[in-house]
Structure 1
Amino acid sequence: MGSSKVNPPPETKESVWLRRSVILSFWLVAVLLGLPVWWKTTAIYRAELPLQTMTDWADGKVCKPVFPLRIAVEVPIPPSEAQHLIRTTQHALDDLNEFSAHHLRLMLADSPWVANTSQQIVSDGTTVDARHEEDIALLIRLIQVGTGNTPRSMLRAYSPTLDIYYAANQLPSPSSTGSPLATFMAQELHKLFDEEQALLAYLLSTKSKIPTAKVKSFSPETAAELERQSTIAFKYAPTYHLTFSLFTPTFIPSDWRIESALKQYISPFLDSFASISNFTIDTQVQLYSAYSPSIQKPVYDEDQKAWLLRKEDLSGFINAAEWPLSPSIGAGPTVNFVLYVPDQAETPLLVQGSGANSWLIPQWGGVVILNPSGTDKFGPVLTKQDLAPAMHTFSDQLMSLLGLPRAPASLPLRLSTLVRSRAASLLFSASSTLGALARLYNALPSIPIPDKVAKSVDLTTAHLQHACDNLRGGRFRTALEHARIAEAEAEKAFFERSMVGQVYFPDEHKVAVYLPLLGPIAVPLVMAALKELQSIIRALKARKNA
């Protein structure tokens, strides 16, 4: 007798509904509780950023920098005649100017614009405030003389003052629209600020998105020289660290009077530079410093009676493997100055071809080879007099590395030019960083944006606006301060740690993390739901056929 298949007893309605209730309860817990908790705990917080404002700053739509320079004129003639001279000179100066963003405005030195706190409306409708002496870019002192060639000028080296000597008959008459003195003054001012105009025009054309038609044109030679200077100079920093190092391949000299030399030759320049950046200094002495193995040894030249170092070996002269030169000390960039005293058997040591004993290393520092004069030899200690030539060279190298322009001859005017150019470059840099952050925000919606990034962006835009307003008002040192803060806050926002870490976290990593966790939970729930759905469909078909 064959065995017959025994079917299980039919489920009761209570057991079916109980099973379905259990499955439904699991799904309700997963959907109504699990998903919200997962969504909340894994959600990426993205603070709201003013993206349109940030893009407008990057595109140059918010601020078009202008540089109104106020020139005070001191002239020993009646006020009415002085005003006529000012107007005549101003017309001649405006005719020479080809760069509308950089304009010179003449005013009497004893006018309320200089003596009091009144305001002046310049040609573009901007209100400027000349209440501080530092807002006066240049003082012109007109001096009447009866002898010598006139008109003639003399620019003071350590004061923003231009002395102009003239004869009485060179003043403009009340009915004239020009005079030799007015023409001479306009030409002198144009020459005096011509390099500054080229520098600012170069910044506007390369760092900003202002149409080039509105920027002063300059020759390819000038552009190449400005490009060369920009590659040599360090990026602006509020603090620089200067390291002065003495290296010698022997044990002589073993000491140097560097403190007194720095105090006499370097400190005065650093003091004048204090309104732009701060400086820290350290020194070191390294004996038995061998040449870098990557260069050839100097070769003696009978014609020059000197040891010659090949030009192609200058870049490898620094023995980075053995010489203790730290690339960065502290928060700011380190500027290295190396004084190398060659072996007495290899003196004098010069550069082949040029015969120079010093060279610059762009954005790193400078090197000076100190040879004894004549047949003298250095003792165990380098005196301040021994160091004087090297200190003068280091001073010139430091000016180039900090981006100080070469003209005009007045140091205060060159420093003022540097203030204006640094303020403009920082403004452009911070604006560009804002634009990059806005593009990053739109391109990567999965990265978090914390509130401190939004706060830094707000601070950046606020200080950028202050910097722009102060530039328009001729308050360039204040503009530099605001631009410095704006650039720092923009960099802080862009390189926020929590954002940078998520930039390199692709979606594939998320799948690899969630699949082992959710797979064991999702498979039983899905299979149970499908099974119950099939049973419901079969029951409906059976009822329909019946």
Structure 2
Amino acid sequence: MSSSSENRHDGTVHQPELAASAVSSTSTSTSNTPTNNTSNLSMRKLPPPEKPEDIQKRSFIVGSFWFVVLFLGLPIWWKTTTIYRAELPLNQMMGWADGKACDPVFPIRIDIDAPALQDEEIQNLVQITKRALDTTNDFPSHRLELEISRSANIIQTNDLVRDSNTTLTVRLTPGDIAASFLHSHAPVLEITYSPNSIPPSGAVTSDFATYLATQLREAFAEERDVMSYLFATSSMPSERRPQGPPQDVASSLSKRMTRSLKYSRTYHLTFSLFTSGPVPSSWDIDSAIDEYMRPILDMLGPIHNFTIDTQVQLYATPGVQSQVLSKEDLSSFINAAEWPLSPSIGGAPTVNFIVFIGNQTIGSVPETGASQSWLMPQWGSAYLLPPPSTNHVPSELLKQPVLTFTSHLLSLLGTPQSGPLPMRLSTLTRIRSVDLLLRASSSLGSLARLSLALPSISIPSSVADGVAKSMYHLQLACSNLGGTVGLEHARIAEAEAERAFFEKSMVGQLYFPDEHKVAVYLPLLGPVGVPLFIGLLNQVKAWKNARREKAKTA
């Protein structure tokens, strides 16, 4: 019994010891957990708090970068990349283009010479004729001014137009019936009248005065048609244009305008002798020009200047080998690849006159007939001569070619086809003045519309100067229409307007759109702009955190 009791006693003693040991181990394991967390936090070191002076220094650095960008970089970029646009008088330019700045009126002085009439009779006749002209005037650009001639003798020379302001002289002579004819060499209109057709003093109307007004209008009919065509084909608004010529007349004038050269103050005339063999090797062209063409060139002096040179080319091969040339062969007869044709000298347009000596002849076709010459639009003229019997071409043999060249030169210059030559040259002055006036006005209007349509295009100061000069000379031309002074001002105005419109530095900007600028700046803005904006955002965030901490402590 004692032994069993001891065994039970031992059992009761050992069980509490095991439990205590288990509790002790549990308490030990639980007490080790906070110790490990504290060690992990101590291993992760937090950055020390920033000093206020460090934050301020970083703010100064970021601010300095932005200061340089905003107040130094951007102004320099804006100054160096801004497109310069000189100020243009756009309203005045459009006024010229629309025909509002100038109403072209050409005063045409007509002298009435009636030695058989009394002063009162001729004065009354002139007054009634003026009223008849005003009544039937459907072309306001023509202002026929009738004056009573005080000269005893009428100058019937080719220098009448140049030495006098008179465009046409009307000579009234008594006769059986009313008739009229225009002199072929002098600007004189001969009109016969019956003595009983003269209106008495105090009369308001007269059949003879109406007939006289009709004859004066017919004398300037071609000039009126040409001017109407120029106005109708200009860029002027339709409500400002006068009525154009009939369709058939307009078609004929279109061909003439296409054939004639653009106006220039100076032309270079080149006379070339081309032979198919070794002879002839010389020609008397200088004396032929002086004798047969020089008088016409002198008359053209107030309108054009001319420089002349000559050349001889042996063994010249034409572009067409056939002996009988058809109409289709004429366009390829000139062998421009091998013939040394003189180019423009000194900027003046060249007019080529070629005499070819060979076996070629022009076939008899309706367009050319049996002629030995043909006119090449805006280029010159060619004449075919048979081979002479000598080695030298005398001036007598060159008479017909030079006279033909003179006629072709007048056609290339745009000279009217009807009337005496002095009157035709006076008409040519007025026609060229209108043409240049309209061209200059159209160029100014195109430049104004271009500057409004493309606000990014550059307008250098030279363009503004050209526009100012053009408008100045346009005003002078409009004030002196009808003479060579107005023609010269119109020529300068057209040249300045063309130079301003085709300015090289301005035209280059037409092919540089805004999309190209974006493509140029994007690669630069990315690397430069991203660090600046990130630094600014971080600084703003730090500033907000500092204010929040300051508010908590307060």
Q: TM-score range by the shorter chain?
A: 0.7 to 0.9
Please say if residues 110 and 147 of structure 2, whose CA atoms lie closer than 8 Å, have aligned partners that are also in contact: yes
Please say if residues 324 and 360 of structure 2, whose CA atoms lie closer than 8 Å, have aligned partners that are also in contact: no
Distance in 2, Cα, partners of 1:402 & 1:391: 16
Please say if residues 350 and 357 of structure 1, whose CA atoms lie closer than 8 Å, have aligned partners that are also in contact: no
Distance in 2, Cα, partners of 1:312 & 1:512: 55
Distance in 2, Cα, partners of 1:144 & 1:133: 29
Corresponding residue number in structure 2 for 1:488: 495
Which of 21, 25, 38 is residue 77 of structure 2 equivalent to?
38
Distance in 2, Cα, partners of 1:212 & 1:203: 15
Quick check: 1:99 aligned with 2:139? Answer: yes
Please say if residues 64 and 210 of structure 1, whose CA atoms lie closer than 8 Å, have aligned partners that are also in contact: no
1:455 to partner: Cα distance: 2.2
Corresponding residue number in structure 2 for 1:129: none
Identity value in percent: 48
Distance in 2, Cα, partners of 1:487 & 1:501: 22
1:288 to partner: Cα distance: 1.6
* CA RMSD after TM alignment: 2.7
Please say if residues 72 and 106 of structure 1, whose CA atoms lie closer than 8 Å, have aligned partners that are also in contact: yes
Corresponding residue number in structure 1 for 2:104: 65
Q: 1:214 to 1:197 in 2, by over 3 A?
A: same
* Superposition TM-score, scaled by structure 1 size: 0.84
Corresponding residue number in structure 2 for 1:84: 124
- Name the SS of the counterpart of 1:291 in structure 2: coil
- Residue segments in structure 2 that go unaligned for 5+ positions in a row: 1-38, 152-161
Higher helix share: 2
Corresponding residue number in structure 2 for 1:402: 413
1:265 to partner: Cα distance: 1.7
Which of 173, 182, 187 is residue 143 of structure 1 equivalent to?
173
Distance in 2, Cα, partners of 1:396 & 1:218: 26
Distance in 2, Cα, partners of 1:66 & 1:210: 18
Corresponding residue number in structure 1 for 2:352: 336
Distance in 1, Cα, partners of 2:148 & 2:237: 34
1:108 to partner: Cα distance: 0.8
Quick check: 1:421 aligned with 2:431? Answer: yes
Q: 1:348 to 1:51 in 2, by over 3 A?
A: closer
1:178 to partner: Cα distance: 4.9
Distance in 2, Cα, partners of 1:218 & 1:446: 42
Write out aligned runs for 1:379-390 (5 A): 379-390=390-401
1:504 to partner: Cα distance: 2.3
Q: Stretches of 4+ moved more than 6 A in 1?
A: 541-546
Corresponding residue number in structure 2 for 1:155: 182
Distance in 2, Cα, partners of 1:325 & 1:535: 83
Which of 313, 332, 341 is residue 286 of structure 1 equivalent to?
313
Q: 1:189 to 1:453 in 2, by over 3 A?
A: same
Which of 478, 489, 505 is residue 498 of structure 1 equivalent to?
505
- Name the SS of the counterpart of 2:480 in structure 1: helix
Write out aligned runs for 1:145-544 (5 A): 150-174=177-201, 176-179=203-206, 181-209=208-236, 211=238, 215-292=242-319, 295=320, 297-298=321-322, 307-342=323-358, 346-350=359-363, 354-371=369-386, 377-408=388-419, 410-471=420-481, 475-515=482-522, 519-537=526-544
Q: Deviations over 1:11-53 (max 9, x none)?
A: 2221121011111011111111221122223322222111111
Distance in 2, Cα, partners of 1:8 & 1:69: 102
Distance in 2, Cα, partners of 1:359 & 1:522: 73
- Residue segments in structure 1 that go unaligned for 5+ positions in a row: 112-131, 299-306
Distance in 1, Cα, partners of 2:71 & 2:546: 29
Distance in 2, Cα, partners of 1:217 & 1:510: 48
Corresponding residue number in structure 2 for 1:11: 50
Q: Highest Rg: 1 or 2?
A: 2
Distance in 1, Cα, partners of 2:512 & 2:389: 61
Distance in 2, Cα, partners of 1:503 & 1:217: 36
Distance in 2, Cα, partners of 1:209 & 1:348: 47
* Superposition TM-score, scaled by structure 2 size: 0.83
Q: 1:5 to 1:309 in 2, by over 3 A?
A: farther
Distance in 2, Cα, partners of 1:350 & 1:371: 15
Q: Which amino acid aligns with 2:426?
A: S
- Name the SS of the counterpart of 2:423 in structure 1: helix
1:240 to partner: Cα distance: 1.2
Q: 1:134 to 1:438 in 2, by over 3 A?
A: farther
Please say if residues 153 and 164 of structure 1, whose CA atoms lie closer than 8 Å, have aligned partners that are also in contact: yes
1:414 to partner: Cα distance: 0.6
Distance in 1, Cα, partners of 2:365 & 2:188: 42
Equivalences, count: 501
Q: Deviations over 1:93-122 (max 9, x none)?
A: 4444432332322121239xxxxxxxxxxx
Distance in 1, Cα, partners of 2:122 & 2:340: 62
